[in-house]
């Protein structure tokens, strides 16, 4: 498994990776040494760019600014400053490697890396979430996208070796605060190439590059077709491939003054442009249009209203007329008329038509004809908004479009697949042109074509038309609006749509109607618990079984995305029992779930013949005669050729987020295994971005959403970059028939799930703990104060880890094998809780993130309680894990199950426990919730009590307070660990680490 990291390399994001599956190579004698388990460039290229690396020497990608070129142009050798020993660096936590290095020091290590063009880098950070560094850069990219969407960018002319036209972010108010928070959260590994530069400086450079690339992608077409003057060449360079242009000193100074004015901290204001449509009026007599056609142009009464708007409070909107009226306005600068004139002077460079309004002494609006209004909508408004001006458009702008309405009727009016309907069946269809939900006639279309006006009012709705849309509409009518076609062709047309003439509505009956409605689960008759299934399905599971069977009989795949704990496993087993197929189903899952699937199949579907294809002695010949074959993603990749040679009724991917990155080898492997149908099981179909949904859907129904490039253009970019509601609706229509998502918090789905009660348990420190805590603080702060760069960050992280160990127990920090009793307030509270739980005849899960602490706790608690205390950690073989889980679930004796958070936080069903205790908290709430859901899931019949042990008056309490105050940031960034504290000053760290009087018992 590759753990991909990303580091800012001065001119772009560099991607390198650790290979967690290979043995470290001996370090060479040359300095800097080659990283012993860094992946070579060829492996990186194959994994990240989904193609073989180019032959030949490694080249420097900075020499090529375009998107093309060979893969070798992207490869580079980097020297990174990493902690470790002289012999080897410390492995990252994501690799799972253990290291014996006790006192790491910083050394230079040489790694192969890829530095792709910006557009490719943005894709990679969206798709690769294997490390804290990539997750951080994904958050920075998301911030850049948000700034571009809100128009918080400004054009500039900068000079270094060359003069370059660039788009730069505007950070004021909340945006500036968030940037600072994001910089504080930057993992040290994000800047190991430039460790001497502060995180804010590195992040600022990266944010500028991301923002510039995103604005250029959004603008698309050149701002000036035939640039002549230096100023025009600057404008043209704002959308060019490299941005180079002549230097114009006076323009550069004006732009810098503009930037200074829009980033002013107090009373900052910007010019705002509001497009006002004409009042409703009869058909313009000059057009000669037939009023019965209900197609109108309504004359030329369009206006662009000029105003001032507070930069940090868009709700403060002051029309120009009020500005010229004189007098101060709260929230605006003292002389708002100067701000208005200065802003209009800058805006006229981007919107030359504005010059007509500026001929007046006190301009307040600009009148436009219909074509001028259309040009403002399509060209000027996006440009002004991207440059930092306020723009307000009518609600219909960009939403109400000319499109298609599809009506289909099955030839035999049937709604049951068992009566013979298949995707090759012919259906009658009719295509109508539509505006919103209203269809329009051929006469109305002819009138639109005759008027040749880009903005018209059809049936009371304003519609933006361009020549391409109109040509596409005329072609659709000429090509025939009715006929017969296979249902599969109709389905593919609905899924992929058309960029110029989108599908706005579908009216279908029968099976196709059930499918395209996106509500097939509700419309189909539920299938009762099949004979041979040793369980009773709940109503929502019966509906889910009907939906799975429905898709299967149509030869289509699906994504069962039910919330964690709603029983995706038993529903899938019920489908296999219901079908009684002659050919086997291949189930691919993470290795940690192999035993769980085997046990659940034996429990709920004992008649199924199950074979586990995994391990050193596996043989595909043993698959013959099995109904269900269970394997892992790694095994499927290694045995791909053998598995491709067998006939499969179905391929099922459990925890399908494992294939969310379509370019990984394991995702390519499972897609390459032929099968009648495919099923993806996941509680999180989209974790970070829409490309993950495409990857999972491409597995379930290959080709149905089109190519990856088309999906990005048609759905991903409009939705993620522009929040395009029409594209979002089209995507819901395309995926709705194949994704079934139910939440356990929905009482219409499940009403008998017990409650979950969460409590924070405040634990005091003993005198010994307090003394150790203060000693660690004093020692580490002295070292931190004398350090800088990545060494300082490493010391901060080390201090936090040591302080958390002190809060657990002195012996955890000292590692001296000393006695545990009576020396830890947290351990005393854990003993009290454990005694109460077993005295009530109940069971508990006890999570710790430290395997060494769990090893200390297990024998101690077992002796104190005189009850079994099971201990599951990552070093146990799969069979031992299975035996522990089975004993805990089946044995009636009260007991504790001590678990390593990393090894047991997901994938286990432990509903025998109705208590969950988090001994030492991991500061990502989602990780804790996943661990808690081992008990809080279907099958749990008691209320679940969750306790989080926190030492009051210590680091644990203050970080908990920060998490509570900054939930949004925690969920987005803090999941990388506790690195977000490492950039605090020594004074701030002293306050975070400070030991208060109430901490000591």
For 416, 578, 921, 992, the CA distances from 925, given in Å and listed in that order, are 45, 39, 9, 20
Q: Give residue 652's pLDDT band: very low, low, confident or very high (50, 70, 90).
A: very high
Q: Can you spell out the DSSP letters for 772-799?
A: HHHHHHHHHHHHHHT--HHHHHHHHHHH
Higher-pLDDT residue of 422, 493: 493
The stretch 740-761 carries a mean pLDDT of 72
Taking the C-alpha atoms of residue 340 and residue 664, their distance in angstroms, rounded to an integer, is 53
Class of domain 756-999: alpha beta
> Is the predicted pLDDT of residue 62 greater than 50, yes or no?
no
Which residues have CB under 8 Å from 963's CB, separation 6+? 923, 925, 970, 974
Which of 116-130, 527-541, 578-592, 662-676 shows the lowest mean pLDDT across its residues? 116-130
CA 681 and chain centroid, separation: 18
Q: What is the mean pLDDT of residues 963-987?
A: 45
Least confident piece of the model among 180-189, 512-521, 642-651: 512-521
Answer yes or no: is pLDDT of 353 > 70: yes
pLDDT digits over 846-899, tens only? 999 888 899 999 999 998 898 899 999 888 888 888 889 999 999 989 999 999
Q: How much is the pLDDT for 433? A: 73
299: left (phi over 0), alpha (psi -120 to 50) or beta: left
Name the nearest CA neighbour of 737 among 685, 697, 706, 686.
697
CA gyration radius, the chain = 32
Higher-pLDDT residue of 492 and 853 is 853
Tell me if domain 546-740 and domain 756-999 are identical in fold: yes
> Which is more confident, 412 or 728?
728
pLDDT for res 969: 33
Compute CA 847 distance to the chain's CA centroid, rounded to the nearest angstrom. Answer: 27
Predicted pLDDT of residue 810? 92
Distances (CA, A) of 353 to 152, 349, 357, 379, 380: 23, 9, 8, 12, 9
> Which DSSP state fits 995?
P
Evaluate the omega torsion of the peptide bond into residue 383 and state whether it is cis, within 30 degrees of 0. no
> What's the CA gap between 961 and 366, in Å, rounded?
52
Q: Name the 3-class secondary structure at 633.
A: helix
Q: What is the DSSP letter of 996?
A: P
Cβ proximity of 641 and 668 under 8 Å: no
| Residue 336 to residue 343: CA distance in whole angstroms | 10
Q: In this structure, how many other beta carbons lie within 10 angstroms of the beta carbon of residue 265?
A: 9
Concatenating the DSSP letter of every residue in 878-930 gives HHHHHHHHHHHHH--S--EEEEEHHHHSSS---TT--EEEESS--S-HHHHHH
Going from the C-alpha of 455 to that of each of 305, 380, 384, 603, the distances in angstroms are 19, 16, 21, 65
Secondary structure letter of residue 460 according to DSSP:
T
Rounded to 5 degrees, φ, ψ at 938 are -55, 135
For the beta sheet containing 739-740, the strands, ordered from the edge strand earlier in sequence to the opposite edge, are: 610-612, 628-632, 585-589, 650-654, 677-681, 558-560, 739-740
This prediction's pTM: 0.49
pLDDT tens-place string over residues 494-510: 655 565 666 666 677 76
Give the 3-state secondary structure of residue 224. Answer: coil
- Asked if pLDDT for residue 66 goes beyond 60, the answer is no
List the end-to-end C-alpha distance of the chain, in Å, as a whole number. Answer: 47
> Which pLDDT value is given to residue 970?
32
**What's the mean pLDDT in 399-413?**
67
Pairing of strands 844-848, 869-872: unpaired
Joined together, the tokens standing for residue 379 give: 């060209």
SS3 636: helix
Answer with the residue of higher pLDDT: 696 or 972: 696
Which residues are CB-contacts of 826 (< 8 A; sequence separation ≥ 6)?
763, 807, 808, 809, 919, 949, 951
Residue with tokens 């060209």: 379
Q: How confident is the model at residue 56 (pLDDT cuts 50, 70, 90)?
A: very low
3-state secondary structure of 39: coil
Q: Out of 629-638, 787-796, 981-990, give the one with best mean pLDDT.
A: 629-638
Q: What is the pLDDT of residues 542-551, one digit of tens each?
A: 988 988 988 8
Q: Which residue has the higher pLDDT, 986 or 407?
A: 407
DSSP state of 730: H
Tokens of 398: 């960009």
Of 635, 633, 695, 630, the closest CA to residue 662 belongs to: 695
351 burial (CB, 10 Å; 0-12 / 13-18 / 19+) is buried
Predicted confidence band at 571 (pLDDT cuts at 50, 70, 90)?
Answer: very high
> How far does Cα 477 stand from its chain's mean position?
40
Q: Is 947 exposed, middle or buried (0-12, 13-18, 19+ CB in 10 A)?
A: buried
Spatial separation of the C-alpha atoms in residues 594 and 907, rounded to whole Å: 10
DSSP code per residue over 73-130:
GGEEEEEEEEEE-SS-BPPPGGG------SS-EEEEEEEEEE---HHHHHHHHHH--S
Domain ranges of the chain: 2-195, 264-392, 402-516, 546-740, 756-999
Question: Closest Cα partner for 7 from 104, 92, 102, 98?
Answer: 92
CA 700, 705, 708: angle at the middle one, nearest 5? 100
Tokens of 492: 């593919």
- The matching CATH number, chosen from 3.40.50.10810, 3.40.50.740, 3.40.228.10, 1.25.40.10, for 546-740 is 3.40.50.10810
Q: What is the DSSP string of 485-533?
A: EEHHHHHHHHHH--SSS-EEEEEE-HHHHHHHTT-HHHHSPPPPPPTT-
Confidence of residue 675 (pLDDT cuts 50, 70, 90): very high
Q: What is the pLDDT of residue 759?
A: 74
pLDDT band at 238 (very low <50, low <70, confident <90, very high): confident
Query: Which residue spans within 277-436 are E strands per DSSP?
Result: 295-296, 302-310, 313-319, 365-368, 390-392, 402-410, 426-435
- Say how far apart CA 708 and CA 694 lie, in whole Å: 7
Q: What is the pLDDT of residue 879?
A: 84
Do residues 826 and 879 make contact, with C-beta atoms less than 8 angstroms apart? no
Provide the residue count of the chain: 1001
Tokens linked to 497: 């749509």
Q: Are the C-beta atoms of residues 442 and 477 closer than 8 Å to each other?
A: yes
- Identify whether the C-beta of residue 704 lies closer than 8 Å to the C-beta of residue 697: yes
Q: What is the mean pLDDT of residues 568-584?
A: 91
- What proportions of the chain, in percent to the nearest 5, are helix, strand and coil? 45, 20, 35
Residue 360, pLDDT > 70, answer yes
**CA 831 to centroid of chain Cα atoms:** 40
Write the CA distances from 939 to 563, 571, 882, 944, 988, integer angstroms.
Answer: 14, 14, 19, 12, 47
Query: Helix axis angle, 173-184 relative to 199-219, nearest 10°?
Result: 120
**DSSP one-letter string for 552-613:** HHTT--EEE-PPTTS-HHHHHHHHHHHH--SSPEEEEE-GGGHHHHHHHHHHH-TTS-EEE-
The sign of the CA dihedral 610, 613, 618, 620 is positive
Under 8 Å between Cβ of 618 and 611: no
- The dihedral built from the CA positions of residue 575, 580, 585 and 587, taken in this order, carries a sign that is positive
């Amino acid at each position: 498994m590759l753990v991909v990291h990303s580091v800012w390399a001065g001119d772009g994001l560099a991607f390198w990776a650790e290979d967690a599956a290979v043995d470290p190579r001996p370090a060479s004698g040359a300095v800097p040494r080659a990283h012993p388990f860094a992946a070579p460039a060829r492996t990186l290229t194959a994994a990240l760019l989904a193609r073989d690396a180019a032959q030949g020497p490694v080249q420097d990608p900075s020499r090529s600014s375009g998107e093309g070129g060979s893969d070798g142009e992207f490869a580079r050798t980097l020297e990174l400053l990493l902690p470790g020993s002289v012999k080897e660096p410390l492995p990252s936590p994501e690799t799972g490697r253990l290291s014996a290095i006790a006192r790491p020091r910083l050394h230079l290590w040489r790694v192969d890396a890829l530095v792709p063009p910006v557009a490719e880098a943005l894709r990679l950070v969206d798709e690769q979430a294997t490390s804290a560094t990539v997750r951080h850069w994904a958050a920075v990219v998301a911030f850049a996208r948000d700034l571009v969407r809100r128009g918080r960018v400004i054009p500039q002319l900068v000079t270094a070796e060359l003069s370059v036209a660039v788009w730069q972010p505007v950070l004021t108010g909340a945006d500036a605060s968030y940037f600072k928070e994001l910089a504080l959260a930057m993992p040290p590994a994000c800047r190991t190439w430039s460790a001497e530069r502060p995180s804010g400086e590195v992040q600022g450079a990266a944010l500028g590059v991301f923002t510039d690339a995103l604005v250029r992608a959004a603008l698309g077409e050149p701002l000036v077709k035939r640039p002549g003057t230096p100023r025009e060449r600057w404008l043209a360079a704002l959308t060019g491939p490299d941005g180079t242009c002549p230097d114009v000193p006076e323009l550069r100074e004006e732009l810098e003054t503009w930037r200074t004015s829009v980033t002013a901290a107090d009373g900052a204001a910007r010019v705002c442009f509001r497009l006002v449509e004409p009042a409703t009026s009869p058909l313009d007599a000059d057009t000669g249009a037939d009023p019965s056609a209900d197609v109108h142009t309504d004359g030329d009464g369009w206006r662009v209203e000029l105003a001032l708007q507070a930069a940090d409070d868009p709700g403060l909107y002051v029309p120009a007329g009020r500005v010229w009226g004189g007098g101060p306005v709260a929230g605006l600068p003292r002389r708002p008329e100067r701000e208005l004139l200065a802003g209009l002077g800058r805006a006229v460079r981007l919107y030359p038509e504005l010059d007509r309004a500026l001929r007046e002494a006190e301009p307040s609006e600009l009148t436009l004809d219909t074509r001028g209004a259309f040009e403002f909508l399509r060209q000027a408004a996006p440009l002004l908004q991207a440059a930092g001006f306020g723009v307000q458009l009518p609600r219909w702008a960009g939403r109400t479009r000319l499109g298609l309405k599809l009506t289909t009727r099955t030839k035999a009016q049937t709604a049951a697949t068992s009566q013979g309907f298949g995707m090759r069946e012919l259906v009658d269809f009719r295509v109508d042109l539509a505006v919103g939900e209203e269809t329009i006639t051929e006469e109305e279309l002819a009138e639109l074509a005759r008027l040749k006006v880009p903005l018209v009012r059809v049936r009371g709705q304003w519609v933006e038309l361009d020549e391409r849309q109109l040509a596409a509409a005329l072609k659709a009518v000429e090509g025939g609006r009715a006929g017969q076609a296979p249902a599969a062709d109709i389905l593919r047309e609905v899924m992929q749509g058309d960029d110029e003439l989108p599908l706005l509505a579908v009216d279908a009956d029968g099976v196709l109607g059930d499918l395209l409605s996106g509500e097939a689960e509700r419309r189909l008759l539920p299938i009762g618990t099949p004979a041979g299934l040793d369980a009773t399905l709940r109503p929502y599971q019966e509906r889910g079984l009907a939906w799975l069977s429905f898709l299967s009989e149509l030869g289509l795949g699906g994504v069962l995305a039910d919330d964690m704990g709603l029983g995706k496993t038993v529903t899938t087993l019920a489908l296999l029992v219901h079908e009684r197929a002659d050919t086997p189903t291949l189930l691919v899952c993470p290795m940690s779930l192999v035993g769980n699937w085997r046990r659940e199949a034996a429990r709920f579907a004992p008649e199924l013949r199950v074979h586990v294809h995994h391990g050193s002695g596996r043989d595909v010949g043993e698959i013959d005669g099995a109904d269900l074959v269970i394997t892992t993603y790694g095994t499927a990749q290694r045995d791909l050729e053998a598995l491709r040679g067998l006939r499969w009724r179905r391929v099922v991917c459990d925890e399908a987020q494992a294939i969310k990155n379509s370019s990984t080898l394991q995702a390519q492997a499972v897609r390459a295994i032929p099968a009648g149908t495919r099923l993806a099981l996941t509680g999180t179909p989209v974790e970070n971005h829409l490309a993950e949904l495409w990857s999972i859907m491409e597995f379930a129904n290959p080709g149905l959403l089109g190519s990856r490039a088309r999906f990005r253009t048609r759905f991903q970019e409009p939705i993620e970059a522009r929040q395009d509601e029409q594209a979002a609706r089209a995507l819901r229509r395309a995926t709705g028939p194949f994704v079934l998502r139910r939440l356990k918090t929905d009482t219409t789905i499940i009403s008998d799930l017990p409650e979950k009660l969460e409590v924070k348990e405040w634990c005091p420190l003993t005198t010994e703990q307090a003394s150790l805590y203060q000693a660690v603080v004093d020692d580490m702060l002295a070292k931190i104060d004398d350090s800088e760069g990545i060494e300082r960050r490493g010391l901060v992280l080390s201090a936090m880890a040591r302080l958390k160990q002190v809060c657990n127990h002195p012996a955890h920090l000292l590692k001296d094998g000393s006695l545990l009793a009576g020396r830890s307030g947290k351990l005393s509270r854990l003993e009290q809780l454990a005694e109460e739980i077993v005295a009530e005849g109940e069971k508990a899960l006890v999570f710790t993130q430290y395997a060494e602490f769990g090893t200390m706790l297990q024998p101690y608690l077992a002796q104190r309680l005189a009850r079994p205390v099971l201990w599951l950690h990552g070093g146990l073989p799969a069979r031992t894990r299975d035996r522990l889980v089975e004993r805990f679930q089946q044995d009636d004796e009260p007991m504790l199950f001590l678990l390593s958070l990393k090894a047991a936080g997901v994938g286990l069903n432990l509903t025998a426990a109705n208590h969950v205790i988090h001994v030492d908290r991991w500061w990502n709430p989602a990780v804790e919730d996943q661990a808690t859901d081992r008990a809080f899931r279907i099958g749990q019949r008691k209320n679940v009590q969750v306790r989080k042990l926190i030492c009051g008056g210590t680091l644990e309490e203050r970080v908990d307070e920060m998490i509570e105050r900054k939930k949004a940031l925690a969920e987005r960034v803090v999941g990388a660990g506790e690195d977000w504290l490492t950039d605090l000053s020594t004074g701030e760290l002293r306050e975070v680490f400070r030991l208060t009087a109430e901490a000591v018992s």
